[in-house]
Structure 1
């Protein structure tokens, strides 16, 4: 996705063209200013629309950022359908690694995992962006179960979390470089766990129950 320039754009009218301009301007503002200094007025000026055009579709800054990020990741990390779960997951993992190490991905990390990430609206934005990504990728797991490549009852969300975990660990914790092999290793780990039955819905429920018990101890 091409981001807007640093100055105000020409007027773009309404409809889909205006929505695309607003989303692009939101990402550009996020890159240039960070979430804390991002304003609806600044986005509108950059997109070449009146701020009422923005508020007509997005109720506040948080919903604007969530929508722009969800749309960006839907384009940047498309849902593959290669006919085999291993190549599907490899495509997903590689696209995630590529996206999160690009300019928008780095801006997302700054916005969602820095001090601003403690804001309730950012926590909600993070939850909604991840929920959208899981929803879009869920057919990959459903098709794999139908083909007999994964056990019946495999939990799509738990599998996708397992796939993303090694990549996010390097991004946010260890600061190790993200390479193509990082994504491929994530696929091998995820498939081994899934085929061993560790990522079924029953397993996910058991883990959550254990976590709840630990929290009460």
Structure 2
């Protein structure tokens, strides 16, 4: 059952509120792992924020566990497969994941949605000692807000292994907080501050 149908909109529980960033979690039917959501306002142009998330070279700064990120198969500028390898703390085995990424912009509201969905059997195959993540969805929602952007990231991911759900849930709370803090800093700095992806319309230029 899709997470959007499995939970009610008012089931979010505030876990963290610091530095202008809020982190919330909620239970999802069929999962022992909680869905997690982070939100913050970023004082940067919409294209700059999109450019950070779209850049494989920035993934290790957005997510500290990412050791490598590359595009494996590109259908278009807004649809491609993104491979990432993640370092995990000892004694947990490293993970990797291949996400199908889709970037969409609403032509009226200019809201950008970036959706990553894990692919089970995509190449490359996991290396020795690496565990493939096969159940994971991450959604960025970027809403223009005056001279900035309201950024929200929602994650639901199973690391695929004998890790207690309570441990995963407690460790996950810091993930969107750190992602949004890094996104804020990167979007305000070169080269992203001046970036203008061709597939994104900037409402500020209208």
Q: Which has the larger radius of gyration?
A: 1
More helix by share: 1
More strand by share: 2
TM-score (norm 2): 0.28
